[in-house]
Structure 1
Amino acid sequence: MSRYHAYLKRAVSLLEQYDGREPFSIYYKKAIALDKKAGSTDRKIIRHYCYSFFRIGFACSAQTIEERLLIAVYLIHGDTDPLLKIVRPEWIAQGATSFEQRVALACPTFSWPQVFPLPFSLSMELSLEEWVKSILYQPAFFIRIRPGKQQHVISRLKEASISFRIISSSALALPAATNLDTLLALNEDYVVQDLSSQRVGEFLQPLLPKTIKSVWDCCAASGGKSLLLMDQYPSLELTVSDVRPSILQQLKTRFKQAGINNYHALVLDLSQQGFPKNATRFDLVIADVPCSGSGTWARTPEQITKQTEEQLVEFTQRQRAILSRLPASLKSGGYLLYCTCSVFANENEEQVAWLQREFGLSLCKQTLLNGMAEQADTLYVALLQKTSS
């Protein structure tokens, strides 16, 4: 038995045991650590096969896990993978050069709707085929260069012969899984931030800094968007909150590394309570709410088959519980920036329409930051204004 047969067997075993209770990256790291014979190259190859399996979702589901894995590798990577040359030489012999030709050979019943068959409409005329195709391939690795660090970062990357693509004066795209740990200082020289997330700053730019003085990032997580705004406008009065104390501690560590100290932080469960009464109202509230994450599933393709319709409905309910508590914290004339990393309309424009009906907010603009062409995530952003006190 070749080592590629062994890789296939191990990948199938891991997929059979994975229950979706934690991200596959965490599960895989723990499970593969028990295999003392697997070296770093072995682990990368096995992980590659597992993620290829997830990328075709529910398609070809009548087949066994092993067969679906082989189909996925063939559809996505063609005849370049050594495993197929050993296990499915008859496919390679056909010389199929297009995705459609490979489908006809390996899984004639394949269709794009099969990949994710749950009944949800996509946002803003995004096509199902475009979205599903984007999930087939691993996204790029994006960083944002901190102010004043561009020359240093570029020089260090060139010295280390790391390939990169300049998107803007601060945004770089690098190959997936690039490791900069020993080359640059994370959060001091650069931050890891997807390209579409970086573009949220551009979305807000016309308002800043003349209109916006005080900002509340109400679902701040590790603070990526707040850090972006503080880099651009360091005089902002910033408040951050999150329901998870551990995540908020990560934010504090990150901000300390970034040299940002002028902010207020608090633990707050917005599904249960709003901002403390009698507190200062804000010019801008950023609501990057918990969501399905469907705009990032190319990074976590296991979500395609592990998300249920019930879970997706729960996200919309939780979003409304959070959103219902935000208008009271806006100044008259203040703005609410609503963000998700979802491509589903019920988490995006349908929630905005609900905010307009229930709270009388006015929609200033909305867009889908479609990163698919640049191997980036896809985010939805909408800016609403409170026109009465």
Structure 2
Amino acid sequence: MSRFNSYINTASHLIKNYKGETPFAIFLRTYFGANKKYGSRDRKQIASLCYNYFRTGHVAADEPIENRILLGNFLCETAPSDLMESLASEWNKIIDQPIDKKISAINNAINIQDIFPFKEELSNGIDPELFCRSYLIQPDLFLRIRPKTRIGFLKKLEKANLDHTILDEDCLVLPNTSKVEEHFILDKEIIVQDYNSQKVFDHLRTDNIINQTMHTAVWDCCAASGGKSILLMDLFNHKIDLTVSDIRPSIILNLHQRFKKAGIKSYNYFISDIEKAGFQHPIAETDIIVCDAPCTGSGTWGRTPEQLHYFNKETIESFSDRQKKIASNVIPYLKKDGLFIYITCSVFKKENEEVANSLMKDFDLELLQMEILKGYDKKADSMFVTIFRKK
């Protein structure tokens, strides 16, 4: 058996034994840790085969896994390789061609829209064809430059000689494999933050809200890793009274450590299940509530394509119910004329527009923004943001 056949067989074995219970990256690390015979080049090739298989979603679902692995490699890779030359030489000759030519080469035997079989669930404004095609391309790495670090960071960036593009004043895009932690101080100088995640508060800039308010009370009610809170602190030049909360004590502990690195010293926090009615908030009312709600994460599956394979459509409804409960429980803590910012990294309308419309029906809210932030044309995540003002 050739080395390349061995790669295919190992990838097939991994895929068959993976059940989606943990991130595939962790599953791979565990497997290679227990099987020391694989060198660095072997691990990289096998991992690439697996991820290319997952990127094709539900295309050619009836084909044997080995065939689908090779197909995934053909559709996702853009440069000839010894593996493809050995196992599919005709495909290797045109692997650098546009996706439509590749599909023609296999006699149009596949429909690209089979990658994502939940098209009827997509939010308004998402192009299903372009969204499906984006799965075949690995998303980029996006960085946000922290305020007051720009000059020093750019000097380091020049010295590091990393391939990059500056998208705007404080956003950079780099290849996904860039080792930025080897050159920069994460959270202090830069934040690893997706392009659209950096854009969710743009309305606050355009509506001049940032410059009109001083020491605004802000509650990030589903704080998680704290990326949105750090962004708000930077936008408001630390002139906010910040409160963060989450249901998980471990998350709050990690958040403390991240805030320390980010230079955020003054903030309040509490641990609570805000999905349950009657939870206790330590502050009576607040000016801005950010609800980056628990969701399917379907707008980020380009980074973790294995999730598409193991996704159960029925969970969309359960997430939508949770989101409505959380939002309905926290909105009463919003001051009159205060802002409620609802965010998901989902592409499903039941988690997005339907939740927003339900909130408008149940509460006296003025809609300021409702928008899908499309990432599939930018090699970025897709997100949804709605901003309400309480009347």
**What's the TM-score once normalised by structure 2's chain length?**
0.94
SS at match of 1:148: coil
Alpha-carbon contact 2:164-2:174 (below 8 Å) kept:
yes
Q: How far apart are the structure 2 equivalents of 1:70 and 1:190?
A: 38
**Whole-Å Cα distance in 1 between the matches of residues 81 and 353 of structure 2?**
41
Partner in structure 1 of residue 320 of structure 2 = 316
The alpha-carbon distance between structure 1 residues 143 and 297, as it changes in their structure 2 partners (threshold 3 A), is same
Pick one of 360, 363, 366 that aligns with 1:359: 363
Tell me the residue number matched to 1:339.
Answer: 343
Decide which moves more: 145-154 or 118-127: 118-127
Work out the percentage of aligned pairs sharing the same amino acid. Answer: 36
Code of the residue aligned with 1:11 in structure 2: it is: A
**Structure 1 letter corresponding to 2:22:** E
* Distance of aligned partners of 1:36 and 1:95 in 2 relative to their CA distance in 1, 3 Å threshold: closer
Following TM superposition, by how much is the alpha carbon of 1:248 offset from its aligned partner in structure 2, in angstroms? 1.3
Q: Tell me, what secondary structure is at the counterpart of 2:270?
A: strand
Matches within 5 A, 1:238-317: 238-273=242-277, 276=280, 279-317=283-321
Q: CA deviation at 1:275?
A: 5.2
1:60 is matched with 60
Task: Report SS of the residue matched to 1:325.
Answer: helix
State the distance in 2 between where 1:36 and 1:163 align: 32
Give, in whole Å, the separation in 2 of the partners of 1:268 and 1:90. 58
> 2:120 aligned with 1:117, yes or no?
no
Q: Distance in 1 between matches of 2:43 and 2:381?
A: 26
Residues 53-79 of structure 1, C-alpha deviations (whole Å, 9 max, x = no match): 001111101101110111111122256
Match of 1:191 in 2: 191
The 1-side partners of 2:121 and 2:73 are apart by 28
* Separation in structure 2 between the aligned mates of residue 232 and residue 17 of structure 1, nearest angstrom: 46
Residues 80 and 96, structure 2, Cα contact 8 Å, conserved in 1 = no
Aligned mates of 2:224, 2:86 — CA distance in 1: 45
CA-CA distance at 1:189 after TM superposition: 1.2
SS of 1:133's partner is helix
* C-alpha distance in structure 2 between counterparts of 1:81 and 1:46, whole Å: 14
In the alignment, the residues of structure 2 paired with residue 106 and residue 48 of structure 1 have an alpha-carbon distance, to the nearest angstrom, of 22
Supply the distance in 1 between the matched residues of 2:226 and 2:151 (Cα, whole angstroms): 25
**Judging changes above 3 Å, is the alpha-carbon distance between structure 1 residues 309 and 72 closer, same or farther for their aligned structure 2 residues?**
same
- CA 1:95/1:9 → structure 2, altered by over 3 Å: closer, same or farther? closer
Q: How far apart, in 2, do the equivalents of 1:107 and 1:288 lie?
A: 44
Give the match for residue 37 of structure 1.
Answer: 37
Residue equivalent to 1:130: 130
1:369 counterpart residue number: 373
Q: Deviation string for 1:120-177 (max 9, x for gaps)?
A: 4322321111111111111111111111111222221221221111112211111112
Change (3 A) 1:361 1:375: same
Q: Deviations over 1:47-106 (max 9, x none)?
A: 111110001111101101110111111122256233221111233357883322322333
Give the drift of 1:39.
2.0
Match of 1:154 in 2: 154
Give the Å deviation of 1:302: 0.7
Structure 1 residues without counterparts, runs of 5 or longer: none
Q: Name which of structure 1's ranges 112-121 and 58-67 shifts more when overlaid on structure 2.
A: 112-121
> Matched residues in 1 for 2:95 and 2:34: separation?
39
Aligned to 1:13: 13
The structural deviation recorded for 1:384 is 0.8
* Matched pairs, number: 387
Q: Which moved more, 1:279-288 or 1:196-205?
A: 196-205
- Residue 187 of structure 2: SS of its match in structure 1? coil
- Partner residue, 2:224: 221
Q: Does 1:328 align with 2:341?
A: no
SS at match of 1:167: strand
5+ long unaligned stretches in structure 2:
none
Q: Could you say if the C-alpha distance between residues 232 and 94 of structure 1 is closer, same or farther in structure 2, counting changes exceeding 3 Å?
A: closer
Q: Does the CA contact (< 8 Å) of 1:255 and 1:261 recur in 2?
A: yes
**What secondary structure, in the 3-state scheme, does the structure 2 residue paired with 1:144 have?**
strand
- When normalised by structure 1's length, the TM-score is 0.94
Cα separation, partners in 2 of 1:373 and 1:279, compared to 1, 3 Å: same
Q: Which moved more, 1:99-108 or 1:342-351?
A: 99-108
Check whether the contact 1:287–1:338 (CA below 8 A) recurs between aligned residues.
yes
User: CA separation in 1, counterparts of 2:251 and 2:282?
Assistant: 26
1:358 partner amino acid: D
- 1:223: how far off? 0.4
User: Structure 1 segments of 4 or more deviating over 6 A?
Assistant: none
In the alignment, what sits opposite 1:176?
Answer: 176
Matched, 1:348 2:361: no
Tell me, yes or no, if the aligned pair for 1:220 and 1:242 is still in contact at 8 Å. yes
Alpha-carbon distance in structure 1 between the residues aligned to 2:83 and 2:269: 51
